[in-house]
Structure 1
Amino acid sequence: MPKIVDHENQKERIAEVVWNIIHKEGLEQCTVRKIAKEAGISAGSMRHYFPNQAKLFIYSMQLVVNRVKTRIDQLTFTETPEENAKQLLLQLLPIDAERKLEMEAWFSFTAKSISDPELKQLRKEMNEGIFSACQMAVEALCPSQNEMERKRETEHLYALLDGLALHAILKPDRVTHEMIDSVLTNHLQTLSDQK
């Protein structure tokens, strides 16, 4: 009897292999042959899931977006506005091993998206989602600020998240989960104090 394969699960597993190769060796080492070998399948089988490398990269980048959305959808906002905002924004930061892999892949795909229109669209979608999360946090914490002040604070928070994410990837010994939590908590408290 033939083995039944969950195709979506297999595609996710292959995408996770891509993330691991990026982590260990960089995006330029993500060849179809290497990915297939690491995934334990033949290159021909891999082409069954992804007809070319571009489709695989698009799927791998989309998987990052989907996982972030899933984490956010599973949140229950029952705490203080500051804590709720922090829990929302932490979903976008590399605070554990899985999110670090996602973030490393995301930054690699973001660099590649400069010359790849299909990846560029996914980058735009994710960036708009991050900006929207920052906007929601600022509006919840600073409802009495005027529109210009809220726009400025949203850009400030967005830049803070990008900086924390990048530094956590580049300097993980310095920008730890505890440091991210502390910096974010402090900034959100400062925003809340501006009510």
Structure 2
Amino acid sequence: MPKKIDPAEPKMHIFDAACRVIYEHGFEKTTLREIAREAGLSLSSVQHFFPKQKDIYMYAMDVMLDKYRTRMKRASLEGENSYENAVQRMKQVVHASTEEERMENDIWVKFSMMAVMNADYTEKKDKLREINVEYAESILAMLNEEGYISDADSLPEQTNSLIVFLHGLVFESVIYRSLYDDKTVEKEIRGYLEKLCRLNA
């Protein structure tokens, strides 16, 4: 009896290859042929799973969203106070500690720029925004519960401010990687949180 192949396995293999190509060349220079070459597959094999380039981009963004959620959850520290938890959770998003995470951040920056100019990807872009809002809200709610934020009415405004800060720091750390090591990222995050908590004191 022929062995059943999980369709997710070749898709993930192609996804990994696509990420490497996008990381090296950007979306605008990525083609299905280049992805197939990187994956060690024929073009027709890739097109069997992803008939159009848009299909693989959509799949890639879904996988990346799941990876992004996982990174956000990973940094929650049991036994730490909410302030230190906030620092570590924000660092987990901004500072890539592995090559895979650096690739993820780089691709998200490139995807966000591409999505601005291509309405086909608006839904994925908006989904990332929803995840970022939920993440920022959870950090601020945690700080609020322990009294670091005294004005609960300001939380919606602070949520947007936190998202802007994180996006800016991610963008900077991707573009100017050599300037943003672990200590520098943590210093920027602590500086932001200190100002936030001081304003709400």
How far, CA to CA, are the matches of 1:171 and 1:123 in structure 2? 23
2:142 is matched with 140
Query: 1:82, 1:189 within 8 Å by CA — same for their partners in 2?
Result: no
Structure 1, unaligned runs of 5 or more: none
Normalized against structure 1, the TM-score is what? Answer: 0.87
Normalized against structure 2, the TM-score is what? Answer: 0.84
Q: Deviations over 1:137-168 (max 9, x none)?
A: 22322442141x32332222211101110001
> CA-atom RMSD, angstroms?
2.2
1:153 is matched with 158
Distance 1:75-1:5 versus aligned 2 partners, 3 A rule? farther
2:96 is matched with 95
Amino acid at match of 1:58: M
After TM superposition, the structure 1 = structure 2 runs for residues 23-38 of structure 1, keeping only pairs within 5 Å, are: 23-38=23-38
Q: Deviations over 1:49-83 (max 9, x none)?
A: 21210010111112111101123345544221012
Q: Deviations over 1:91-142 (max 9, x none)?
A: 4224222122112211222222224334211111111211221122223224
Identity of aligned residues (%): 24
Distance 1:4-1:135 versus aligned 2 partners, 3 A rule? same
Structure 2, unaligned runs of 5 or more: none
State the 1:189 CA deviation.
3.8
Alignment length, in residue pairs? 194
Amino acid at match of 1:174: L
From 75, 83, 108, give the equivalent of 2:110: 108
